[in-house]
Amino acid sequence: MTGRSEFESRSGAPTGQQPSSSAKYTFILAPHVLQGPPEDEDTMSQRTRSMLVVDSPKNFRENLLSVLTCPRCKEYLDPPIIICETGHNLCHRCRPDQQTCTVCLRPLLDTRNVSLEGIAREVTYPCRYRGQGCREAFPVGDIAGHHERCRFRVYNCPGRTLEKCPWQGRRAEMETHLRDVHTNIHISFKTVKSSLVSWEITNAECYQDSHHFGYAFDEVFLFQKAFDVSQRKLCMAVKCLCPQDRAGRFRYQFRMTKNGGGQEVKLSSLVHHQGEEVAAVFQVGDCVRVDFDMLMSYVKGTRTMQIIRTSK
């Protein structure tokens, strides 16, 4: 594979003279894969080149950023960048799920677009939330981390998949949305102390599959439970809708008491992060699991789920 980047004046100005302010430029990115007999330059250009005609540095930058955007997930391309037989690009995050090109449906290759990777390393990427007011920009290795913590970030409703809710908004608006719109699955946390919140689970709820959302410690938590009939166990998991490093600050704990608190059982686990699927967590048993017989022995007691912040 070869590639090149070049500017070609289209102003008509003689070589060596400064083009006029109305000059247009063509930025050519020409990654291509040669297969079969060699092609002449015209045929090769027609088949494999992407030409970006721009009339200002600002437009050039916008068009370059569009080239450096994955056509499948719409995130910025960062190395390694994969190409298809025709020369279209795909990010490494999408590659495991794709066998054909999103653009032309031709097979993907295990070949990297090293020319475009070199350009990607030199570009400063604007925040995807610039339309909402963010003016920051970062190198390709840092932009994803900024997107996670950007104060202008637009969030989907936590129930977008489970509840088919199309809402989008700021994090500060999310608690109100969950409380007002998803009343039936909203958790009203009881603050026990600054580092611990809890909510009660009724005896009947122990045998019902359900999911609930709650807002605490400036984070959104998803609580899911399912009763495994074959194993006679109640499975419960708490997931923080945040990156792994932030989720690692929390634990969840299921607590049962009876006889006025004279007897109690505590089972706990680390809070799961947004990249983990709760169904998979239940399948491997990486969650709180309570035997049916133990549940029955505490049927006249109390059951609470707690979220504990272990660090700030």
Domain borders along the chain are 5-122, 185-309
Model pLDDT for residues 196-232, shown as the tens digit of each residue:
999 999 888 888 889 999 888 988 899 999 998 888 9
Task: For domain 185-309, give the fold.
Answer: 2.60.210
Alpha carbon distance 1, 89 (integer Å): 13
SS3 of 136, please? coil
Sign of CA dihedral 252, 258, 259, 263: negative
Give per-residue burial for 153-183: e unless 16+ CB within 10 Å, then b.
bebebbbeeebebebeeeeeebbebbeeebe
CB 307 within 8 A of CB 195: no
| pLDDT class of 13 with cuts at 50, 70, 90 | very low
| pLDDT class of 1 with cuts at 50, 70, 90 | very low
SS3 of 138, please? strand
- Which of 80-84, 119-123, 144-148, 186-190 tops mean pLDDT? 80-84
CB 7 within 8 A of CB 27: yes
pLDDT value at 6 more than 70: no
CA-to-CA dists, residue 170 to 13, 131, 256, angstroms: 51, 13, 36
What is the rounded average pLDDT of the residues 33-57?
45
Q: Put the strands of the sheet holding 81-84 in their side by side order.
A: 89-91, 81-84, 108-112
Q: What is the mean pLDDT of the chain?
A: 81
The pTM of the full predicted model, rounded to 2 decimals, is 0.60
Alpha carbon distance 144, 131 (integer Å): 17
Assign domain 5-122 one CATH number from 3.40.50.300, 3.20.20.450, 3.30.40.10, 3.30.70.141.
3.30.40.10
Q: Residues 6 or more apart from 71 whose CB is under 8 A from it?
A: 88, 89, 90, 102, 103
Alpha carbon distance 155, 38 (integer Å): 50
Alpha carbon distance 131, 193 (integer Å): 39
- Which of 28-32, 47-51, 182-186 tops mean pLDDT? 182-186
Torsion on CA atoms 29, 34, 38, 39, rounded to nearest 10: -40
Identical topology for domains 5-122 and 185-309: no
> In this structure, what are the phi and psi dihedrals at residue 111, rounded to the nearest 5 degrees?
-125, 140
pLDDT value at 20 more than 60: no
